[in-house]
Structure 1
Amino acid sequence: MTEIKIRPIQREDNSKVAEMIRYVLVEQGAPKVGTAYEDKALDQLFETFQKERAEYFVLLVGDTILGSAGIAPLENGDPEICELQKMYFDPEARGRGLGSQMMQKCLDFAKSQAYSECYIETLPNMKAAQKLYLKSGFEHIPERLGDTGHYSCTVFMKKKI
């Protein structure tokens, strides 16, 4: 059986992770504007997450990056609230419980950084992602928190940690 590992992103992972995320966004029919697709940070995730109370993880199956997600302070938001950011999985990784493993890794990190709540935004058509978030204890909230810049994401969810 191929080894599955979740570890912090390394600088040399940047291009592979950005490529995987853009592939998934296109595959899911996401708009290229107002989403992670156009984020300048997408090509520099290692550097972007080199700040206090933030970490970005990659999920490897063997040596191949098939998923990623990160936790960071919510931009222009309550310092007690973190944001689950850029959680994406290659189609090969889906339906295997790997999303739940990644979610747990991120929430454990958030807890270790003394956040009290976790926020996420997603697109209405990303039903599988929403199902994972609900299963992980997130609840829908009526409005956007902070300033993510992802104006095309209109589904807002939050969880106490």
Structure 2
Amino acid sequence: MSKPIIRPIEKADNEQVATVVRKVLIELGVPKVGTAYADAALDMMYETYDRPKARYFVVEDQGKLIGCAGVAQLDNYDRNVCELQKMYFLEEARGKGIGAQMMQTCLDAARDFGYDQCYIETMPYMEAAQKLYTRTGFRYIDGPMGDTGHFSCPVHMLIDL
């Protein structure tokens, strides 16, 4: 692996992003219903994030996408809170500090957009991800915020920006 780069998504990345996310979700045994797997936006991530106060990033290594994540306004929530969305990395990208770099990139974008807090939902068995989130400053909260449609994700976390 060379030195991967984190960059904003381009329209040409849509297919690779959908492939990365679905591959990771299947690998981790995540339900296909009530998670990002079933999101209609998954096949058109560039278009989904091409709006104010939203940004999606990809990790590219030698022309191949090996990870992705983004931030956008938390759905169905009227306060100034964004959500860290669809953060997934192929196995070859894990354990190399890329997740921490991506997290910083996303939170920097959220701060630049002026959000007050960032929210995330995840699965209980995604322990490595939760360790990254807590190291970054996320804390566990008692229940969901907004309505993301991800009813199969019972772990909720929040960070003040």
Runs of 4 or more consecutive aligned structure 1 residues displaced over 4 Å after TM superposition? none
Q: In the alignment, which residue of structure 2 is the partner of 1:22? A: 22
Q: In the alignment, which residue of structure 1 is the partner of 2:50? A: 50
- Structure 1 counterpart of 2:45, one-letter code: L
1:87 Cα deviation from its structure 2 partner: 0.2
Q: In the alignment, which residue of structure 2 is the partner of 1:130? A: 130
Report SS of the residue matched to 2:66.
strand
TM-score by length of 2: 0.98
Report SS of the residue matched to 2:107.
helix
Unaligned runs of 5+ in 1: none
Report SS of the residue matched to 1:130.
helix
Report SS of the residue matched to 1:67.
strand
Q: In the alignment, which residue of structure 1 is the partner of 2:4? A: 4
Q: In the alignment, which residue of structure 1 is the partner of 2:93? A: 93
Residue deviations 1:35-94, cap 9 Å, x none? 000100000000000111000000112211110000000011134110000000000000
CA separation in 2, counterparts of 1:84 and 1:120? 5
Q: How many residues align?
A: 161
Unaligned runs of 5+ in 2: none
TM-score by length of 1: 0.98
Structure 2 residue 151 is the aligned partner of structure 1 residue 151: yes
Q: In the alignment, which residue of structure 2 is the partner of 1:109? A: 109
CA contact (8 A) 1:73 1:79 kept: no
Fraction of identical pairs, as percent: 53
CA contact (8 A) 1:144 1:156 kept: yes
Within 5 Å, give how 1:27-46 maps onto structure 2. 27-46=27-46
TM-align CA RMSD: 0.9
